[in-house]
Amino acid sequence: MKLKYNHQRYVFIYGCLLIPLLFFLLVRILPIFYSFNVSFHEWDLLSETKPFVGLNNFKFVLQDEDFHASLRNTFIYVFVGVPGQLLVGLIVALLLQRITRLRGLFRTLYFIPYVTSIVAVSWVFRWILMPNGAANSILLQLGLSPQLFLGTPDQAIYVIIGTMIWQAIGFQMLVFLTGLEGIPTLYYEAAEIDGAGSWQKFRKITLPLLNSTIVFSVVIASINFLQTFTQVKNMSPGGTGGPLDSTKTLVLYIYQLAFKSYKMGEAAAATVLLFAIILVLSLIQLKVLSKKVEY
């Protein structure tokens, strides 16, 4: 039986959509459910038997001091990195919106770091921030004291956050530019007629009409910071989240449990807890930040 053209078109469209959907289910969804199963068993990769232990793995993780330190560090990444990333991205977007010449070039230059390998960026910054690196050379030339940067617990986590903010500027800039270009100019024209200044237009028009963009950026940035791993693995001394576990994140903690200690059950339990944290935090952000804008 030969299908009509419209039916053939829908079959082709849904057939194309089915391939990425299956890939998403196999790579994303099924491992999540499998992690739930592993979290309730004693799973160490060495023994054939994997007895059911109930909530013992969760109890172990919740009582582990390393988990508490990693959780605290992870929230520092989120609460410092997300506002910094959004603020810098919005400022760059506002500046680029005002220029008319070479706008495409500047957009490209800002976006290049985002598509650059995280490992490569991490090692470049690690080289720059070494005790005898370029950053300390500049400080010495300015008559300032050299810094340890990645070698001290007081600075290391904020240095890594700074590199993450720098690399994501291009993404946030592009998101905010899209939102800014979607705001009708008639609102600004009406505000100018009423005598509104630049700050008033930004506060009363730009920010409210960027609400949906801000919500999207906050949620995406929060998820990215909650899943921080590559930067810490490549920039911290020995890749262990040092110094003194000051930069260790939940994902690095899970990695060490699974592939250093071979405690797959406990690692899966920590993964489930991280999944719950991401889900709850995302729902809270969507609830708190989302609001209806009246035109």
Across all residues in the chain, what is the average pLDDT?
88
Binned at pLDDT 50, 70 and 90, residue 293 comes out as very low
Q: Give the whole-angstrom CA distance, residue 277 versus residue 279.
A: 5
In which element (H, E) is residue 250 found? Answer: helix 250-259
Let me know if residue 17 belongs to a domain. Answer: no
Let me know if residue 33 belongs to a domain. Answer: no
Q: What is the mean pLDDT of residues 219-234?
A: 94
Binned at pLDDT 50, 70 and 90, residue 101 comes out as confident
Let me know if residue 99 belongs to a domain. Answer: yes
**pLDDT digit string, tens, across residues 234-292:** 999 888 898 999 999 999 999 999 988 888 999 999 999 999 999 999 888 888 877 65
Binned at pLDDT 50, 70 and 90, residue 295 comes out as very low
Work out the percent of the chain whose per-residue pLDDT is above 70. Answer: 96
- Exposed, middle or buried, 179 (CB in 10 Å: 0-12/13-18/19+)? buried
3-state DSSP call for residue 248?
coil
Let me know if residue 269 belongs to a domain. Answer: yes
Q: Taking the CB of residue 164, how many other CB atoms lie within 10 A of it?
A: 24
Nearest one of 64, 35, 65 to 275, comparing CA atoms:
35
* Per-residue pLDDT, 223: 93
Q: Give the whole-angstrom CA distance, residue 88 versus residue 6.
A: 47
Q: What is the mean pLDDT of residues 171-186?
A: 90
Let me know if residue 225 belongs to a domain. Answer: yes
Binned at pLDDT 50, 70 and 90, residue 218 comes out as very high
Let me know if residue 190 belongs to a domain. Answer: yes
What are the b/e assignments for 246-284, b being 16+ CB within 10 Å? bbbbbbbbbbbbbeeeebbbbbbbbbbbbeebbeebbee
Binned at pLDDT 50, 70 and 90, residue 137 comes out as very high
What's the number of domains the chain is made of?
Answer: 1
Binned at pLDDT 50, 70 and 90, residue 197 comes out as confident
CB 249 within 8 A of CB 164: no
Let me know if residue 267 belongs to a domain. Answer: yes
Domain carrying residue 129:
56-289
Binned at pLDDT 50, 70 and 90, residue 104 comes out as confident
Work out the percent of the chain whose per-residue pLDDT is above 90. Answer: 51
* Per-residue pLDDT, 1: 52
Let me know if residue 213 belongs to a domain. Answer: yes
Angle between helices 65-98 and 103-115 (to 10 degrees): 170
Phi, psi (deg, nearest 5) at residue 49? -80, 140
Q: What is the CATH number of the domain that holds 106?
A: 1.10.3720.10
* The one-letter amino acid at 186: L
